[in-house]
A and B are shown apart, each in its own frame.
Chain A
Amino acid sequence: MRQEIKIALRYLLSSKLQTGLLIGGVGIGVLVFSFMTALINGLTQFQIEQTVGSIAHVTVEPREREPRIIKADPSVQLLAAVLRDNTQREQIRPWQMALDTITADPSVRVAVPVISGNGLVTRGQAVQPVTITGVKPEQLSEVAAIAPAIVNGSATLDLDGVIIGARLAKKLSVSDGQTLVIRSDRGRERSVKVRGVFSIGIETLDERVVYMNFKSSKALLDLDNGISRIDVKLTDLNAAPALAEKFGAATGLKSTSWTEKNKRLFDAIQGQGSTGSLIKFFAIVTIVIGVSSALLLTTVRRKPEIGIMRSMGVSKTFITRVFILQGAAVGLLGALAGSAAAYAFCSLVYQVARRPDGTQLVPVDPAQGAYLFGILLATAASALAAILPARAAAHIDPVEAISQ
């Protein structure tokens, strides 16, 4: 193999311009590849964090009550009556066992019991309908990304405290420390203090949601032994659909993945993933075409030499290797250069392209360029691209080549 490597390198070095252009071409291909990867991954993560960051990956809830079918006597013509049972509230009861089952799964980062119900908030003459969400104070950040969105007060949930959205606060003209009266749809009432005001930027959340202490909300919503749902966060987002199914089967409860609840977002993410894949695919195709055509030119230019090598008893395999090695070398060097350039470019975009408030203008994530994969892929693609020229070179007829 040594001699093959030597010749391959000499060939590459002898036409520095062609080799340089070729390496540059592969480099640009890999740059596009890794930049697109970093962009798509960054974008996906950004979107998921925006949405999924404040929602559960899997939500476990009570089953919607099945309409109860009253079977008539089999001998009689079927006369089925369908009734819906509204006498009981939808709740998970008992819930500790279901929670433990879910928490025990190694893919689960955290599983949080949540109380949820409807109510009205009043302050003076102002009345606003709200959704009450009750969580344990230390688990608030698992249920929603509230802490970073606090604009007034803090994200604490003591027994008397609530955290409300900025729009609601404005409508009720309240701020941190002031008192509200909250009344649930179970007819219970309690006066609470505003501990924090958040602004997430999503209208309904900022206007409708009231976060409350788990214990206080249970009493307010009249759920002594039950909870409304379990919010589950996973270590791997992509495992959500599979785990949702698993939890559903294990607990007998209704278990839904975020991908189902946010189908539009999920489809959009998949769509941009496919677009990215297409662009990456064409970047690789460009590399293959470039390497292949450049090496074909080399075989034409080197035809007499290759002919003489064959006449000296050099095997076809030897000639084939010389060309595959050229492809691989060009691919590797180009890929290394392209990856370095991609990393530098992504880092630059990451640092420089920011809005005045510091958020990213282009959600590129330099850490997610899949550089190693890009390098391996481009090197392999270049080596494969060399197969055609290598075959052409190996099949050069020495007699014809020498008489040229």
Chain B
Amino acid sequence: MSNDSRQPLLSVANLTKTYVQGDVASPVLKGISFDVYPGEFVAMLGPSGSGKSTLLSILGTLLRPTSGHFFMLGHDLTVADEDELTQFRNRNIGFVFQYHHLLPDFTALENVMFPAVAAGLMQEEEAEHRAAKLLTRVGLGNRLDYKATKLSGGQKQRVAVARALMNKPALILADEPTGNLDRVSAHQVMELLGEINAESQTTFLISTHDAEIARRCQRRITVIDGRIASTEAASIGSEGMVTA
């Protein structure tokens, strides 16, 4: 694959995580290594409890690993301090979670703008413009001024996707982004993620235990009991999401 000749966007090397509660130590990640290349659309599969969310939290710099390293855009993020991580996260990583976690008192537009204006990356006007464009892109151009609470589940999740895209991150980490949605909405959201990946070359790492969704991805990493059980390329297609 041509990817191998390029620098990986994300490089994970022998990452472990052990939760310690009192005297009980529970190893959750037991040595994870893999690379993700720019523009890839990767599914992370595995049964519930296998450690997917833990891994995504670590890669998203929200959680510190117990040992090992991971590199993104040339930075060893396991050694960065908290302020550096906060800023890195803001500029380079977008999150989509199972639950949308929109700010309920804000409109769709304000929610999408937030990552940019809160960090002072853009002037309000510029941010508004970009947020409106993103919302239009996710099919909510007519819902800009709706309060977050007034939107349906699928719409909320699409706002969350637009928000994750706001600061033009290099990597979007999505933890079961369709886990809370009905079949139709889930399908729409996955279509959307795939389209965005194809359009903007934004890299996606999406955890799911839905085999149907996983089948649509370019590459699948399967985590079982804290280890990578397999990484396989999709059978058809070589760029982005499998369109079949």
Contacts and interface: CB of A to CB of B under 8 A. Distances in A.
B118 A318 contact: yes
A312 B114 contact: yes
Contacts of B30: none
Contact of A313 (B89, B103, B105, B124): B89
B97 A314 contact: no
Interface stretch (A9-17, A190-198, A343-351): A9-17
A307 B93 CA distance: 15
Interface of A is mostly: helix
Given A305-B104, A399-B62, A399-B63, A311 B95 contact: yes
Nearest to B57: A399
Interface in B117-154: 117-119, 124
A77 interface: no
Interface in A384-401: 398-399
Interface in A294-323: 304-305, 307-316, 318
B104 A312 contact: no
Contacts, number: 67
A305 B103 contact: yes
A305 B105 CA distance: 11
Contacts of A315: 83, 86
A305 B63 contact: no
Contacts of B86: 310, 313-316
A359 interface: no
A249 interface: no
Given A11-B105, A14-B104, A305-B104, A311 B119 contact: no
B101 A313 contact: no
Interface of A: 2-3, 7, 10-11, 13-14, 304-305, 307-316, 318, 398-399, 402-403
Interface string B68-110: 0000000000000001001111110101010101011110000
B57 A10 contact: no
B115 A313 contact: yes
A403 B99 CA distance: 9
A3 B118 contact: yes
Interface of B: 53, 57, 60, 62-63, 83, 86-91, 93, 95, 97, 99, 101, 103-106, 114-115, 117-119, 124, 163, 167
Contacts of B104: 14, 305
Nearest to B117: A3
Contact of B118 (A10, A13, A309): A309
Contacts of A307: 101
Contacts of B83: 315
A160 to B, nearest CB: 85
B114 A313 contact: no
Given A316-B86, A399-B57, 17 more contacts: A2-B124, A10-B103, A10-B105, A11-B105, A310-B62, A312-B89, A312-B95, A312-B114, A312-B163, A313-B88, A313-B89, A313-B91, A313-B119, A313-B167, A314-B119, A315-B83, A402-B97
A305 B118 contact: no
Nearest to B92: A313
A394 to B, nearest CB: 11
Contacts of A308: 95, 97, 101, 103
A383 B87 CA distance: 27
Contact of A311 (B62, B88, B105, B167): B62
